[in-house]
Amino acid sequence: MYWTRFIAFLIALYVASLFNVQVPKNVNEQFKYRMLCASRKFVGHACSIHGLLYPGVLSYVQCRRSLVGGRHEGSAESFAPTVKLRRESFDGVKVNIYLPPSVGQSDLLPGFIYLHGGGLAFGDVGIYDGMTRQISEQLNAVVISIAYRRTPENIFPVPYEDSLRAARWFLQNSDQYGVDPRRVAIGGDSAGGYLSAVVSQAIHDEAETPDFRLQVLIYPWTQMLDFKTPSYQQHPDDYLTTGAMAWYTALHLFGENISPQIMNTLATNNHTSDEFRNSAIFREALSHSLVPPDMRPPATYTPPSEGDSVSEFGVHLWAESKDILMDPTACPILRADMSGLPTAYIVTVEVDPLRDDGIMYAKRLEQAGVDVTWRHYENGFHGIWWRGPWFIFEDGREIFREMIDFVKPRL
């Protein structure tokens, strides 16, 4: 009896520790947010224990995928029961194709290419099945959800190249699916926002491929060069943490060959060179002045200092990774000429270290004359757009509805 009570006490103590989460005051549905954070902590603990038996970065990633993975095609039909799902490959890349009831009936339909989030390591087309079904239904559009290969098994530039190949093939063969190639949008959230931005840039540069009508970027990840933007400083430890972004960056750059030293160097913003920080492109593309002053409050924001220096290991890391980090297909915010890119709809949320990635990218596009609509949600957090069919937030629904209201008349 004593041991039963003692074990029950330990279990209760552990559950209480899972729910011991600092909830941002401006986030609505706070208990649901706490549940979301608790579930993430539990998965992390379970996979850490799994790592004792099966050590290694890839083992940990695969454990998380298996616990939160996307065997949800079909189970999400309740979100849009009239939309049909087909699975094909476009130029060797697996895709889910979502067809509204009206496809093939008369006129050509619009299309929407979706790229899922998950830090390039997690998330999949199954987890996003409910979301992509709704996009197809609400826009009366054929939606293509691209199953790009993920890190750490496939490092840069594989996720980008898969996404580009599939998008290009669809644009060049859209008539096979009853889609007008002049009425296709591309969009995604977080890492999918990054992929949408770079694919949009690449397609724009291809004279033989129809350009996108719109790009829809939901709290996009647009750079890996500055982990001390105002939003990184303000929100280092919320649902998406600075440490997590350093880890995703390391997986993207180095795959399984990462270490705590690499991640700490990234997270402390010690991975570039003094010369690069003083370069014209850094000062133009990543200037903190692009972020509105009220989003740089002195209480939480410290401007860059001329005296900041890079450690010896940081110099080594920069030498090893600079060719990737300075490549616009890795950091789309560095593209020199943004003029002529498709109309952009960019969403940022307040509780998000990537908030300023989206803001700065929007400002860069505006400066180049691109038509940009920027929507900022004070009550939002990174992940609110879609966390699979298990956690649906009302503020996330609002973001979705307003995106549809913007896209539908323009597509």
- Residues with a catalytic annotation lie at 190, 352, 382
* 3 state SS for the chain: CHHHHHHHHHHHHHHHHHCCCCCCCCCCCHHHHHHHHHHHHHHHHHHHHHHHHCCCHHHHHHHHHHHHCCCCCCCCHHHCCCCEEEEEEECCEEEEEEECCCCCCCCCEEEEEEECCCCCCCCCCCCCHHHHHHHHHHHCCEEEEECCCCCCCCCCCHHHHHHHHHHHHHHHCHHHHCEEEEEEEEEEECHHHHHHHHHHHHHHCCCCCCCCCEEEEECCCCCCCCCCCHHHHHCCECCCEHHHHHHHHHHHHHCCCCCHHHHHHHHCCCCCCHHHHCCHHHHHHCCHHHCCHHHCCCCCCCCCCCCCCCCHHHHHHHHHHHHHHCCCCCCHHHCCCCCCCCEEEEEEEEECCCHHHHHHHHHHHHHCCCCEEEEEEEEEECCCCCCCCCCCCHHHHHHHHHHHHHHHHHC
